Structure 1
Amino acid sequence: MSAHQHVQSPATTWAEEADLARWDDDGAPPAQPRSSPNAWLRVGAELGDRLVALSGRNDLLVTCRPGTRSGAPAAYFPTLGEVEFDARLFAPLQPHEIHPRIMGDEERYPAAWGVLVHEAAHAAHSVWTQPAGADPRVVEAALLLEESRVEGAHLITRPTDRTYLRTSARTLIMPDIDRPTLQGIEHTAGVAALILGRRDAGILDAGETRAVADLCEKVLGADLLATLSRIWTAAHQCADHDATAMLAHGQNWCDALDAAAPALPVPEDLVDLLSGAVVVVMDSTAATDAADLAAQNAATRAVAAKSKAQAQDRAQQAAQRRKAAATAKSVFNRDDTSAPSSNPVTGTRRPTAAEKSAAARLSRALRAAAYRERTTERTTSPTPPGRLNMGRALARDAQRAAGSVPTAQPFTRTRRRNSPSPPLRVGIAVDVSGSMSAACKPVASAAWIVARAAALTDPDSRTATIAYDRHLTALTRPTHRAPERVTLFKANGGAHNLSAAMDALDHGLELSRPGTGRLLVIVTDAVYTADETDAAVTRVKQLTAAGCAVLQLTLTAESRHLPGTTLLHLPRPSIAPAAIATAATDAIRRTR
């Protein structure tokens, strides 16, 4: 085998390259000139920069030119501190297309990069030197074991390089199989060391190397293969500087082969059998790597698609927030002169005594629901202030008398803190299409009662009411002051725009922001078109996901239910104020 040629003694001189013959007028395409060796100087320099991280050494030179002095795709010269690299490994890329200094550029030439990683493993871990007078056959066996040992050692510090080492195995091993320097049983043993040794080092998988394992067992026998396996496994545990141990393993390798070789028949077509088995292994590893790469690319595309979808969703939400802000501004800041021609407001009236009484009762109920018990926090300490616990004090004295560090803390302090009462946010959206006439009076009364009660409960509580058909009209606005009069309105509109009303109430009252008791009341029969229903349901889902309660009040049996809302059917419209008050109380009670 020639696997050991990746670690070389001092180099020979470069052979001069022959000039290309030029075709004048024979009709053939112009000949493509070879890349000049000088064009690869930059590539070699950049490979040297990356070799520092791969090998942990900054004293190495990388030369990259077409062809190598050793004849191998790449070689490491310990005495010269040089790694030579065959530029043909980058084919079909040209020098100007290769930029190893850029992180990630190696993904375009994994085979070449895998060979560089292999040589980096030699540079980092092949640091033992053969003593003078050592048996060349033993040294060659030790260098054969060195191939998988250095790759296994490299994986310990750089496990992510496994993919490239698998790729380099296909580039480095096949030439050694096809043009062996060893014959017969030693050739088979060398194949086992290169393939199965990498299996045991964690480079290749057991399933991928089954063809070589079966053939080697058939040719070498189970006993000899087990002996060789123990030798290369022991070599994997050797320290980088332990030349004595590596040569001992090389000697054991030679002894095992010498003892078993005379009794083992050698098949006439052994080279072809080994080449075929190795091809199966290489094809299997290539298929595995391709599948892994496809899975990785699919995962990358999935992550990119998810990120893109999230970015689009954020952009859509931002656009919706901007639109909601503009809608809220146009609705709540509009004066009477700019109201639409279909304005449903018919006037105002003074609240009745019953409405004032209902507002006072609701205010008391809201304050009771918003009340939070004081939180109690107990802490212990070795020193005052606090209440003295005699048991802990005696334990502390005992610890001190025993000469140990006192850990008992005899003083207990209790702190009670008031919990802030959450404010209330209530938005009411009332449908003023022609089918909702029965809701006008009770909802007008309910809007004033809720707004009045919220103002009496907490100065930070706010409510708002919007009447919607095709247009939006504010009946009460989200201010800290309660309205003085009840706003009256009529229901004779056409079409529906509930989604815009919900956006305006959400922005004006901050219904999507936690920390308050939030409630949205929708008074409607929900007899909408499919597009209107879908837009409304989307807003309902967003609000409920944010923790805002959404209540739908219906007045007729023909009413439909908006998915996601809590449906409450009122057989008598007059009880709508009480139903809204109860829902508001529950909302603030559930607030944490």
Structure 2
Amino acid sequence: MSAHHHVQPSATTRGEEADLARWDDDGAPPAQPRSSPSAWLRVGAELGDRLVALSGRNDLLVTCRPGTRSGAPAAYFPTLGEVEVDARLFAPLQPHEIHPRIVGDEQNYPAAWGVFVHEAAHAAHSVWTPPAGADPRVVEAALQLEESRVEGAHLITRPTDRTYLRTSARTLIMPDIDHPTLQGIEHAAGVAALILGRRDAGILDAGETRAVADLCEKVLGADLLAALTRIWTAAHQCADHDATTMLAHGQRWCDALDAAAPALPVPENLVDLLSGAVVVVMDSTAATDAADLAAQDAATTAVAARSTAKAQERAQRAGQRRRAAATAKSVFNPRGTTVKPDGRPAPRSTPVTGTRRPTAAEKSAAARLSRALRAAAYRERTEERTTSPTPPGRLNMRAALARDAQRAAGSVPTAEPFTHVRRRNTPSPPLRVGIAVDVSASMSAACKPVASAAWIVARAAALTNPDSRTATVAYDQHLTALTRPTHRAPEHVTLFDADGGHHNLGDAIDALDHGLELSRPGAGRLLVIVTDAQYGSDETAAAVARVKRLTTVGCAVLQLTLTTESQHLPGTTLLHLPRPSSAPAAIAAAATDAIRRTR
């Protein structure tokens, strides 16, 4: 029923052959077949480059011109190794806007590309040719079956081309439906082959082809439609070179129609009914494709949004790290001065009031804490047992006897009688403890115990592991380093008072995080915040964001409070100390627990 076949036996039409014959003897230059404008030569050449991947052949030429010699939107000439494409399929694009060599450019002209993929499927799989003298009606039927067969075969190797083959169906089928060469029952059977055959080949969906299936069942009858379905389903399994089998399927097709046609009434408006049903199918296919494209665009947009968000998050983290490094550098300055977060000296005096020598009780507490930290950091040796057929190792007599028995039986010995145990020491993890103490006026009771605790923890950490480090930062509106993140314990206890105003816990945490690497795994990490958390909303939000970042990477965060009116910072472990003097013991216990839980 096809008005045009997509596999053409020759490269010239009958009209062109007549023109050539008429001009042969009149002395004028011979007439030339219509050729494409020069602007389309590049498009055809680039399509030829892409045809290699689509068809698996590198011996084909592609021509692209307005109009085709075959009259079809596109055609494949097996004898010439040529594929021709009608340039009008690319409308409204102009040649300079078309670049097929660029992968992905085909999305700008899906209809033209779908037809091109269809011809590539013919070039790859329409290898069989009808023998001379074959019944033209049988060949016509076999070529109808070939349309869906080659597309199904193409999907096996290039399943991503399904979208374009669905688009090509709308371009290739409708002209043949509106201007059929076959009439009556054969017309309806041809529509079934083109539409329902593509359904069974996986090009179209069953729901999309319901209108044609229902109409063909009414016109052809359920039995004939089932018989035709079996024929095109069998044709889909035919090998590319098997002309005999394809012609046999064509003969079965003709026989089934001849047997059933006399008993089937033909509606007077059959062409209109078939055209309407096919239009419904094509509209449904277009709607499905549009929905899929919208879903794909939404998914692409979502992926791009996530990628952008991740890039922004990475940039934000990098900016935070840079700001934290600058803050740590300014706070732990060699002069020991109080600074603003931007590194400039603070306009007021430091909260540090002086230093004193540690007491005997503090030295004793540091020694006890050091022993506790060493015990918590101790890791058992790991044992690794391996077996081998040869020494070294301890001989296992059962395995040795099994090996001898395997040899006696003539089999390859697999028993490994020697066992070797390798014991390895697990290094003790170092400790990182950062203490941020609020020195606003409401925290005066914490000054002495926190000063003592800072020295005790720093001394114990230095005695426990040479890689351990601690630091203490006093904060109100400004920042002051009380102890520094060095490997040496301070010689004196730094004393300070609390008479500041406002708070800057966020920057204090940044300084301790960067100075002690609290965000980096591999050590027992603890951040102690001594505060009543009587902050404004912005100050609280900045502190909570940094606490969350530390707890996410495994750093323990402890908040010590001295009064019942204190607020709890979300994300921290709250510990209320009715007696300020118990602060050193609480901090020591938290540090011991942090290093014990380190893996």
| Range class of TM-score, shorter chain | over 0.9
Which position in structure 2 is the counterpart of 1:168? 168
Counterpart of 1:536 in structure 2: which amino acid?
A
Deviation per CA, 1:530-578: give whole Å up to 9, x if none: 0000010000010000100000000001000000000000011010000
Q: How far apart in 1 are the matches of 2:288 and 2:281?
A: 11
Residue 412 of structure 2 aligns with an amino acid whose one-letter code is V
Structure 1 residue aligned with 2:261: 261
Aligned length: 574
**CA distance 1:49–1:336, shift in 2 (3 Å):** closer
Aligned to 1:568: 575
Q: SS of 2:354's equivalent?
A: strand
Q: Distance in 1 between matches of 2:492 and 2:336?
A: 16
Per the alignment, residue 427 of structure 2 pairs with 420
**Corresponding residue for 2:94?**
94
Q: Which residue of 376, 385, 389 corresponds with 2:392?
A: 385
Secondary structure at the aligned position of 2:366 is classed as helix
Correspondence 1:270-349 to 2 at 5 A: 270-336=270-336, 340=346, 341-349=348-356
Deviations 1:265-290 (A, max 9, x none): 00011011101110111111111111
Aligned amino acid, residue 58 of structure 1: N
| 2:362 pairs with one of 348, 352, 355 | 355
Superimposed CA distance per residue, residues 420-479 of structure 1 (whole angstroms, 9 cap, x where no aligned partner): 000000000000011100100000000000000000000000000000011110000000
1:547 alignment partner, one of 546, 554, 559 = 554
2 CA distance for matches of 1:402 and 1:157? 51
Q: Which amino acid aligns with 2:123?
A: A
Give the aligned partner of residue 28 of structure 1: none
Residue 400 of structure 1, CA deviation: 1.8
Which of 433, 439, 442 in structure 1 is aligned with 2:446? 439
Report the 3-state secondary structure (helix = DSSP H, G, I; strand = E; otherwise coil) of the residue aligned with 1:6.
coil
Corresponding position of 2:228: 228
Structure 1 pair 65–130 and aligned structure 2 pair: CA distance change class (3 A): same
Distance in 2 (alpha carbons) for counterparts of 1:227 and 1:342: 100
Taking a change above 3 Å as real, the CA distance of residues 337 and 417 of structure 1, as seen in their structure-2 partners, is closer
Give, in whole Å, the separation in 1 of the partners of 2:441 and 2:404.
84
Question: Does the aligned pair in 2 maintain the 1:14–1:69 contact within 8 Å?
Answer: no
| 1:49 corresponds to | 49
Distance in 1 (CA, whole Å) between partners of 2:382 and 2:553 is 26
DSSP-derived class of the 1:550 partner: strand
Equivalences for residues 575-590 of structure 1 within 5 A? 575-590=582-597
Query: How far, CA to CA, are the matches of 1:536 and 1:218 in structure 2?
Result: 75
Alignment correspondent of 1:68: 68
Match of 1:401 in 2: 408
Deviations for 1:332-384, whole angstroms, at most 9, x for unmatched residues?
Answer: 12404675324110000111111010000000000000000000110001110
Residues 184-213 of structure 1: per-residue CA shift (max 9 Å, x gap) = 000000000000000000001111101100
Q: Distance in 1 between matches of 2:518 and 2:436?
A: 13
After TM superposition, list the pairs within 5 Å mapping 1:473-492 onto structure 2.
473-492=480-499
* Aligned residue among 506, 514, 518 for 1:507: 514
* Preserved contact between residue 3 and residue 180 of structure 2 (Cα < 8 Å): no
- Confirm or deny that 1:525 pairs with 2:532: yes
Q: Work out whether residues 370 and 461 of structure 2, in 8 Å CA contact, stay in contact via their aligned partners in 1.
A: yes
Partner of 2:193: 193
Q: Which runs of structure 2 are paired with 1:177-188 in the superposition (5 Å)?
A: 177-188=177-188
State the one-letter code of the partner of 1:344.
P
Q: Measure the CA separation in 2 of the matches of 1:2 and 1:195.
A: 13
Q: What residue ranges of structure 2 are gaps of 5+ in the alignment?
A: 17-34, 339-344
Structure 1 alignment gaps of length 5 or more: 17-34
Shift in Å, 1:484: 0.4
For 2:379, what is the secondary structure of its paired residue? coil
Alpha carbons of 1:298 and 1:15: their partners in 2 closer, same or farther (altered >3 Å)? Answer: farther
Cα distance in structure 2, aligned partners of 1:348 and 1:391 = 71
Deviation track 1:279-331 (CA, whole Å, cap 9, x = no partner) reads: 11111111111111111111111111101110010001001101100110111
Task: Give per-residue Cα distances to partners, 1:229-263, cap 9 Å, x unaligned.
Answer: 00000000000000000000000000000000000
CA contact (8 A) 1:4 1:147 kept: no
Deviations 1:387-445 (A, max 9, x none): 11111111112222222221111111111111000000000000001110010000000
C-alpha separation between the residues in 1 aligned to 2:203 and 2:240? 19
CA displacement at 1:36 relative to structure 2: 7.0
Once residues 456 and 430 of structure 2 are traced to their aligned partners in structure 1, the CA distance between those partners, rounded to angstroms, is 16
Indicate if the aligned counterparts of 1:3 and 1:173 stay in contact, CA closer than 8 A: no
Identity of aligned residues (%): 88
- Asked if 1:556 is matched to 2:563, the reply is yes
Which residue of the partner structure matches residue 24 of structure 1? none
Q: TM-score, normalised by structure 1?
A: 0.96
CA RMSD of superposed structures (Å):
1.3
Partner of 2:244: 244
What SS does the aligned partner of 1:5 have?
Answer: coil
Aligned partner of residue 400 in structure 1, secondary structure = helix
Q: Where do residues 31-50 of structure 1 align in structure 2 (5 Å cutoff)? A: 37-50=37-50
Corresponding residue number in structure 1 for 2:146: 146
2:128 maps to which residue?
A: 128
Q: Aligned equivalents of 2:45 and 2:202: distance in 1?
A: 31
Contact 2:379-2:428 within 8 A present in 1 as well: yes
AA matched with 2:394: R
* 1:516 partnered with 2:523: yes
From 465, 472, 481, the equivalent of 2:479 is 472
Structure 1 CA distance for aligned equivalents of residues 3 and 396 of structure 2: 78
Per the TM alignment, residue 14 of structure 1 is displaced from its structure 2 partner at its CA by 10
Query: 1:430 matched to which residue of 2?
Result: 437
Question: In the alignment, residue 260 of structure 1 is paired with which amino acid?
Answer: A
Instruction: Give secondary structure in 1 for the equivalent of 2:48.
Output: helix
Could you list the per-position Cα deviations for residues 460-515 of structure 1 after superposition, in whole angstroms to 9, with x for gaps in the alignment? 00000000011110000000000000000010111111010000000000000001
